[in-house]
Every structure is written in C-alpha cells, then in structure tokens.
Amino acid sequence: MSEVITESNRRRTFAIISHPDAGKTTLTEKFLLYSGAIQQAGAVQSRKADRSTTSDWLELERKRGISVTSAVARFEHDGVVLNLLDTPGHRDFSEDTYRVLSGVDAAVMVIDAARGVEPQTEKLYAVCRARGTPVITFVNKMDRPTPEPLEILDDLQDTLGLVGQPVTWPIKPGGRFHGVVDRRDHATYAFVGNTPGGARVAAEDVGKLADLPEAVREEVELLDAIGADLDLDEFLAGKATPVFFGSALSNFGVRLLLDAVVSYAPPPSAREDVDGRPRAVDAPFSGLVFKVQANLDPRHRDRLAFLRVCSGRFERGSTLINARTGRKVTAKYAHTVFGRERETVDVAYPGDVVGLVNATDLRAGDTLHEEGDPVRFPPLPIFTPEHFATAHPADRSRVKQFRRGVHQLDEEGVVQVLRHPELGDQAPIWAAVGQLQFDVAAWRMEHEFGAAVRLEGTRFEVARATDEDGVAALAAMRDVEVYRRESGAPFALFRSRYVADRVEREHPEIALDTLILS
Ligand code: G4P
C-alpha cells in the first residue's frame, strides 16, 4: 500500500454540528483532553473567555468577542489522526459555518437532551444530508432532567427524518441518571456524578446488564428484539445515525463517542470532480479551499486560506495550480492552525487541513492541484441568506471604490450580493446567513477599499433560489421580488416567512430552494 493510502486511512476529518449551548465547546475540550492535545481542562473555555481581552487581535474580533480564526483541532486517538474542523455557531454563525462541511468526511451532531433538535442543528444537518455526510449523534446533558430516550429518537426521526440507532442506552429510572449500557456488548457504565473540569478522564466504571433496573433491562431487550441495531451501511449512506448518550461536562460517554468516530467515521475517499469523475485518494495532489480568512492579524494584514487535502501528498514549498485561474500558487507558508497557535506544516495527507498564508489569489471553493494533473472540484454550495441589508456608499464621491469593494466581497463570498434588475449597482442588497458577515464586509469596505458603507434595512425576510420559470410565475405576485446574483442566478425575496410559506404551499410547481449544491 502506498504511503498516501496508509496515511489517509488513519485520518478522520469531521466537524461537530450543534445549536449554540448544546455543548460543542465542552465536548471539543474533552476530546482534546483524551488525546493529550491539551493538558488542562478549561483551556478551550478560557480561550473563549479571554477572546475579548487579547490586544493584538483583529479589531473586529475584539469588539465582538468572537473568534473568527479557531479553525482546526488536530489530535490522535488509538493511532488515528483526528482533524476536527470548527463550525462557528454563536454570533459568528455565517456562511463559513456551512462551507466547513465541504471539508469533512463525517459529523458529530450534539443535541441537548432536554431541548431536542434545535434550528441551527437542523440547518447544518440539511447540509450533511445533501452531501451524504454520515452523522454520529451525541445526546448531551443526560445528567439533567430529560425526556424519555425513545422520545429523543422520535424527535430525530420527526425533525430530521433520520433513523437513530442507539449504540448506548441511558439508565435513568425515575429520572436519575445512573449511566449507560452499551448495546453492543451489554457492558454498563456507571455515572458517578458531575465532575466539572474533566478530572476523571477515562474513569467510567464497567458493570453488568443483570444489575440494571427492571424497566431499563426491558427497554434494552425490546430494542434488541426490534433490531434497532447499528447498520454501518445505512450510517455511511447518511440514512441512519448511531446514537450515544452522555454528558460532556462530566466527561461521561465521551470516550465511547470518540472510539466511534475512530471506528465508524469513514477515512477520506475519492472525491468527485465537476464532471462526476472520482479523484482517487492516491492520485497526485489535489485540495479544496473551503474557507478564506482575510485580515486576521492587523500587523500582517494576513490572509489565510484553509485547504483540505483531497488526494496525494502535500509538500510545503511545492508549486501548485489554481484550477480556476490556471495560475501558480507557491505553498511557501503552510500552517496547521489550532486556535491562535500556528505550526509550520511540511507534509500533509488526504483529510488534513493546512492554512496557506497570504495566498492572495485564493477564494473559497478553489481547487489546487499538482502541475500536470488537473482536476476541478464542484463549487461550494450556496445557502439562502436570512439577513438582508441595502448597501449605500457613505460618501457619494467614492462610488467607484464602493463598486470595486462590493464586487470583490461578492466574489470572495464574504456576503452575497443581490441586484434588482432595474436598480442594478446603485443599491445592491447584501444578503447573509449570519449577521457577522455584514460586520466583516462593512469593516473591509472601509479599511480595505476606502469606501465606508451605510447599511439600511430591507423589506425582505426570506430568500429562496428559483429558476426562470419561477421568475415568470413570481412576477405577478405581491410581496415577492426577484433579485439576481452577479452570475444571473435569480433569488425570490419575500416580505415575510408567512408569504414564502404560502407561495410554497399554493405553488408547488415553482422552484423555491433553500440550499443550492451548484
Ligand atoms: P456550545 O459550545 O455548544 O455553545 O456549548 P458549551 O460547550 O459552551 O456549553 C454550553 C453550556 O452547557 C455551558 O454552561 C456548559 O458548561 C454546559 N454543558 C455542556 N455539557 C453539559 C453537560 O453534559 N451537562 C450539563 N449539565 N451542562 C453541560 P454555561 O453555564 O453556559 O457555561 P460555563 O459557565 O459552564 O462555562
């Protein structure tokens, strides 16, 4: 077996998808503790806390107390290299959050047991489903009052259309959490109690099924009888999800989950190019830029492109070709990025993510490949925006700079720019998945293009992608207007969710899509 195949087979590249406060940060921290990547509990959380106090960071980040940069955590478990790509979720929820999912082979979905599937989880899961990404589910906060576990599985089925296949089952008679039983071997793990700080790494106690309370034993036997067992093929096809129950905060059930990522999540596999031809993992080097971060560090006016290696061996300093422009890119400065720490990377394999510094030509969605072995991966999906603002130049004498900036930010995908067929460039609508995108775009307009903007609210609340037949049908309707992207792609903008829902209901023949996998 080639070196590339061997290395690629021991990579698992995944993201955690969740709604804010479900426990993603806590779980990430526990993963890192297990692997020894961090020594001290609280390291991840405290980084969250001192975000606002760091002096040498991007002004915008400081002001908002967010981290636009934490990107990839890399750690090992059982001899496997795990690349955990961050999906920003609180105030920093943006199109990047979705784009990150183009760089992963699997996802861990964290659900707050008491709250069930929440909106942001639903949106992120929709991307996984569209891409066929396998999802492992962690039902978190089992130490707190929760619905019956069967209700939690029903919620997965009803809200996401996803079949939950419980690998562990909670032991929670009378509402008190005693632990979980592993349905694969009937080993039971006793929950000792909350030990915030994660001092009890790997201290789960193994017991026996016979010791289980009657009601729980019956449930487990029932699950066995109806065959609610893990089906790896269905999981890999994205149709079913293995479910684990636990408590990230008390470090309970986390190791079983991590073991599952290692043994169930797939290693990198051949990725299809724009024509649907698979590029084998051991083909010459190719990679996908799934995110570009500009101006992170005011001292360097840095630009960092995150490249997911798709095939072959990446070597720092080698010359690569950008498939979109045909131009050469020299990967002279390549880093792994974990929070603010950067470490130089010399070699990387499929599944790895490297940060290319100051690769000014690169945009999210670009394919890089080795000279002489061209390939181009499909463009990143576009997501229908949920925030809208009309952009005006604050200073009328800077219209030229304004247009140039808007064009550039649109191309980079910082915001989506929509134009009215009659108004054109005069008053473009900025549309975004998260409010943060406006702040980043406005900041860059002012500081990079010298064209401060004035943003004004719009009459629109909802957008759906449509087609030319849709444009014709929508033209006659009230409370809907069609705007277009620079590419010409039409978007229907609705005055309210109510109007959008009504049109969808009454006109099933009109194409109104929320996610475009172009
Ligand atoms: P996020 O990244 O998904 O937004 O969630 P995060 O890990 O920050 O967790 C959100 C809150 O939920 C935190 O409490 C965290 O301590 C708590 N939490 C996470 N896992 C569990 C769990 O298994 N059980 C219980 N009971 N709580 C859990 P917080 O009060 O907002 O923050 P903190 O002051 O504890 O840091």
CB-based burial of residue 508 (10 Å sphere; 0-12 exposed, 13-18 middle, 19+ buried)?
exposed
With respect to residue 75, please indicate whether it lies within any of the assigned structural domains.
no
Residue that wins the pLDDT comparison between 169 and 39:
169
Which of 16, 24, 26, 251 to mutate to test ligand 1, by most ligand atoms within 8 A of the CB atom? 26
Residues 445, 300, single domain; the answer is no
Measure the CA angle with vertex 368, ends 364 and 371; round to 5°: 160
Which tens digit of pLDDT belongs to each residue from 212-260?
788 888 888 888 888 788 999 999 999 999 999 999 998 899 999 999 9
Q: Provide the token pair at 142.
A: 């089992």
Q: In this predicted structure, what is the pLDDT of residue 292?
A: 83
Domain match, 156 and 23 both: yes
Are 236 and 92 members of one domain? yes
Distance 138 CA to ligand 1 centre (A): 14
**Which residue, of 245, 264, 283, is where some domain finishes?**
264
Last-in-domain residue among 264, 288, 316: 264
Is 398 found in the same domain as 363? no
The SS3 of residue 310 is strand
Domain co-membership, 339 together with 387: no
Whether 79 is covered by a domain: the verdict is: no
Domain identity same for 248 and 124 = yes
**Consecutive H or E run containing 475:** helix 468-475
Q: What DSSP assignment string belongs to 176-218?
A: ---EEEETTT--EEE-----TTTTTTT-PEEE-GGGS-HHHHH
pTM: 0.87
Ligand 1 mutation target, pool 16, 21, 84, most atoms within 8 A of CB? 21
pLDDT band at 145, cuts 50/70/90?
very high
pLDDT band at 1 (very low <50, low <70, confident <90, very high): low
The first and second tokens of residue 16, run together, are 């955690």
24: tokens are 């993603």
Report the domain count for the chain. 3
Report if residue 376 sits inside a domain: no
CA dihedral for 40, 42, 44, 47, sign (positive or negative): negative
Q: Among 87-96, 105-114, 267-276, which is the least confidently predicted range?
A: 87-96
Residues 6 or more apart from 396 whose CB is under 8 A from it? Answer: none
Whether 388 and 503 share a structural domain: yes
Select from 206, 237, 264 the last residue of a domain: 264
Do 281 and 191 belong together in one domain?
A: no
The residue that leads in pLDDT, 238 or 96, is 238
* Domain identity same for 326 and 351: yes
What is the reported pLDDT for 513? 87
Same domain as 303, residue 256: no
310 vs 292: CA distance, rounded Å: 17
Residue 118's SS3 state is coil
**For 78-89, what is the mean pLDDT?**
88
Note the pLDDT of residue 256: 94
Q: What pLDDT sits at residue 331?
A: 74
CA dist 70 and 201 (Å) reads 24
Ligand 1 atom at minimal distance to the Cα of residue 250:
23
56 pLDDT above the threshold of 50: no
Domain-embedded: residue 91: yes
38-47, 108-117, 462-471: least confidently modelled range: 38-47
- How high is the mean pLDDT of the chain? 85
Q: How far does residue 338's CA lie from ligand 1's centre (Å)? A: 21
**Protein residue closest via CA to atom 31 of ligand 1:** 21
* Number of residues in the chain: 518
Ligand 1 centre to CA of 445 (Å) is 36
Task: For residues 96 and 293, give the distance between their C-alpha atoms in angstroms, rounded to a whole number.
Answer: 10
Asked whether residue 62 is domain-assigned, the answer is: yes
Task: Indicate which residue's Cα is closest to atom 33 of ligand 1.
Answer: 45
Ligand 1: residues with CB < 6 A are: 18, 20-26, 45, 140-141, 143-144, 247-250
Give the pLDDT confidence score for residue 248 in this predicted structure: 93
Residue 372: pLDDT band (50, 70, 90) is very high
Between 315 and 203, the more confident residue is 315
Under 8 Å between Cβ of 296 and 60: no
The verdict on 160 and 211 lying in the same domain is yes
108 is a domain residue: yes
Q: Which of 62-66, 228-232, 310-314, 363-367 has the lowest mean pLDDT?
A: 62-66
Closest ligand 1 atom, residue 28 Cα: 7
Q: Phi and psi of 232, rounded to 5°?
A: -60, -35
Residues 21 and 135 in one domain: yes
Say which CATH number the domain at 449 has: 3.30.70.3280
For residue 389, the enclosing domain spans: 381-517
- Of all protein residues, the one whose alpha carbon is nearest to atom 16 of ligand 1 is 249
Tokens coding 497: 């969710």
| Amino acid letter for position 239 | K
Dihedral, 457, 460, 464, 465 alpha carbons, nearest 10: -60
Mean pLDDT value across residues 417-435: 87
The CA dihedral of 467, 472, 478, 479, to the nearest 10 degrees, is 20
The answer as to whether 81 is a domain residue is no
**Alpha carbons 390 and 405: distance in angstroms, whole number:** 15
**287 CA from centroid of ligand 1 (Å):** 35
Summarised one tens digit per residue, pLDDT across range 402-411 is 999 999 888 8
The atom of ligand 1 lying closest to the CA of 246 is: 23
**What phi and psi values does residue 453 have, to the nearest 5 degrees?**
-115, 155
pLDDT tens track for 301-341: 667 788 999 999 999 888 999 999 999 987 776 666 554 55
Q: Looking at ligand 1, which atom is closest to the CA of residue 45?
A: 36
Q: How far is the CA of 249 from the centre of ligand 1 (A)?
A: 7
Q: How far apart are CA 118 and CA 109, in angstroms?
A: 11
Ligand 1 centre from 162 Cα, in Å?
Answer: 25
What pLDDT does residue 336 have?
63
* Ligand 1 center from residue 119 Cα (angstroms): 18
**Residue 298's pLDDT is what?**
53
63: pLDDT strictly greater than 50: no
Residue environment code for 375-391, b if the CB has 16+ CB neighbours within 10 A, otherwise e: bbbbbbbbbbbbbbbbb
Is the model's pLDDT at 362 over the cut of 80? Answer: yes
Mean pLDDT value of segment 444-465: 92
Band (pLDDT 50/70/90 cuts) for residue 175 is confident
